[in-house]
Amino acid sequence: MYEILAREEFSESTFLLEVQHPLLAKAANPGQFVIVMVRADGERIPLTIADYSVARGTITLVIQAVGKTTRDMQQNCRVGDMLYALVGPMGIPSHIGEVQKVICVGGGLGVAPVFPQARAFKQRGAYVIGVIGFRSKDLIFWEDKFRDVCDELIICTDDGSAGIQGLVTDGVAQAIESHPDIEEVIAIGPPVMMKFCAETTRPHKIKTMVSLNPIMVDGTGMCGGCRVSVGGEIKFCCVDGPDFDGHQVDFDELMRRLDRFKAEEKQSLERWSRATNCRLQDEEPHTPQ
């Protein structure tokens, strides 16, 4: 059982949990993930490690409530509560090479997991350009954390309420124009975002690494649910990744696979919502007639 020490709300659907797990915090590296179970009969879900502290003995998870389990976590995971299982760190750590100049790109929820990589490159002595994107100013989080580890920070918003108006690809293009000596780009976010980041860097022949988070069950290469096509070869994201060469990933296939269980996911969420509503109604105090 792993205690939740802190919680922070970033938006109506995005929240942070800091969880106590000293051994995991000591072993964690940028790019790795964990498998989480809220309770013994719950679903196993993969979540990328957004931050970790050896001194505090904690790992940080930034979660977007979109399905049954993540909405359950949003509703029920509070400070002082316990997570039933927290397995990791899993996956191959990101390769933090000896590059001199790098762009670290995060879109939406991908902003959180790209932070450890930006920090690691900075600690290695690289010139780090951060490009982070949000729909609007109200959804921005961790700006101060990125400014602490980035030599330059480009904020992109869809509505132009902060930074430049546009997508993260606009920020990447701006950074490449200002810095023709960029050696590597790290991009984390929705598959379509990573796809177009890779297409933005392809003409410049800049190495571009992406972090994939496909459907995953066990996280140990046994189920095959997280398979992806990279350079025409089948890879398992959980044991061969999650980082891959963005210029080699078949993003169209990946996005089709992510849609494969949409109907089942919708049914599961509806059943959970009905059960939750019934439980809340039963817990409401009855007013005497």
Amino acid 52: pLDDT: 92
Amino acid 258: pLDDT: 78
Cα separation, 246 vs 249, in Å, equals: 5
Angle at 108 between CA 227 and CA 79, to 5 degrees: 95
Cα separation, 213 vs 226, in Å, equals: 8
**What architecture does CATH give domain 101-258?**
3-Layer(aba) Sandwich (3.40)
In order along its 289 residues, the chain shows pLDDT tens digits of: 889 999 999 888 889 999 999 999 999 999 999 999 888 888 888 888 999 999 999 999 998 888 888 888 888 889 999 999 888 899 999 888 889 999 999 988 888 889 999 999 999 999 999 999 998 888 888 889 999 999 999 999 988 888 899 999 999 999 999 999 999 999 998 899 999 999 999 999 999 999 988 887 777 777 777 888 999 899 988 888 899 999 999 988 888 887 776 777 677 777 767 776 655 455 555 444 4
Boundaries of every domain in the chain: 2-90, 101-258
Cα separation, 58 vs 147, in Å, equals: 22
The reported pTM is 0.84
- State the fold for domain 2-90: Elongation Factor Tu (Ef-tu); domain 3 (2.40.30)
Amino acid 286: pLDDT: 47
